[in-house]
Chain A
Amino acid sequence: DAGITQSPRHKVTETGTPVTLRCHQTENHRYMYWYRQDPGHGLRLIHYSYGVKDTDKGEVSDGYSVSRSKTEDFLLTLESATSSQTSVYFCAISEWAEAFFGQGTRLTVV
């Protein structure tokens, strides 16, 4: 299995607080992604990275920011969490074609 670790695995937070999710890889893959999964919507891309300090927006980027200061780490920050950001968040990594996924983080905003 690809070495991808997401932390935390579960989190409950209050509306208006900042939240940071971490994705760590040991595969030295170039590309890293953050998706959110919601019923009826499949996986929607939030942000992705194609190298250290090289990031770009996906289709649902509003309210989220990312940073990648090292190849192995890709951080997703919710600036001020809202209830609409309650979701399951997946990190994925890729080098050539297919992507490999972390186990997901279930985030609940109350």
Chain B
Amino acid sequence: AQTVTQSQPEMSVQEAETVTLSCTYDTSESDYYLFWYKQPPSRQMILVIRQEAYKQQNATENRFSVNFQKAAKSFSLKISDSQLGDAAMYFCAYRTAGRTGANSKLTFGKGITLSVRP
């Protein structure tokens, strides 16, 4: 079974600085997706970024970028120029790329709470 591990329960960053959130996963599959989701105090789950395992290039969305290390099964999120609105819980998630029913599970880590200091 696939597992997703976020070992840091909390992190803090100074406004305008850069922070990296760590995530590791375990799978025997070769083709899969990885995601970072953000959950602000409103409780809404918001997709931040997506990475396809077959792509070597790291995904980037504005101030958010990932460092995808497939061999090490590591998928970290870097937030540049941190803003107060980035304060939230962040979840790493994994999904197999197969299209059969049993492959449609989306597995989450336990999350990390990010605080931003003004």
Question: Which A residues form the contact surface with B (CB < 8 A)?
Answer: 31, 33, 35, 40-45, 48, 50-51, 54, 56, 58, 88, 90, 92, 94, 97-101, 103-104
Q: Which 8 A-B pairs have the closest CB atoms?
A: A50-B101, A101-B45, A42-B110, A43-B108, A97-B33, A42-B111, A31-B104, A42-B108
B35 adjacent to A98 (CB under 8 Å): yes
List the A side residues contacting B106 at CB < 8 Å.
Answer: 33, 45, 92, 94, 99
A98 adjacent to B50 (CB under 8 Å): yes
Query: Nearest chain A CB to B40's CB is how many angstroms away?
Result: 12
CB nearest to A99 among chain B residues: B106
List the A side residues contacting B95 at CB < 8 Å.
Answer: 94, 97, 99
Query: Nearest chain A CB to B101's CB is how many angstroms away?
Result: 4
Question: Which B residues form the contact surface with A (CB < 8 A)?
Answer: 6, 9, 33, 35, 43-45, 47, 50, 52, 91, 93, 95, 97, 100-102, 104-111
A-B pair count, CB < 8 Å, reads 56
The secondary structure that dominates the A interface is strand
A48 adjacent to B110 (CB under 8 Å): no
B44 adjacent to A103 (CB under 8 Å): yes
List the A side residues contacting B110 at CB < 8 Å.
Answer: 40-42
List the A side residues contacting B97 at CB < 8 Å.
Answer: 97
List the A side residues contacting B33 at CB < 8 Å.
Answer: 97-98
A51 adjacent to B50 (CB under 8 Å): no
CB nearest to B49 among chain A residues: A98
Query: Nearest chain B CB to A29's CB is how many angstroms away?
Result: 11
- Give complex CA distance A2, B77 in Å: 24
B43 adjacent to A104 (CB under 8 Å): yes
CB nearest to B111 among chain A residues: A42
If A40-B110, A41-B110, A42-B91 touch, does A48 touch B47 (CB 8 Å cutoff)?
no
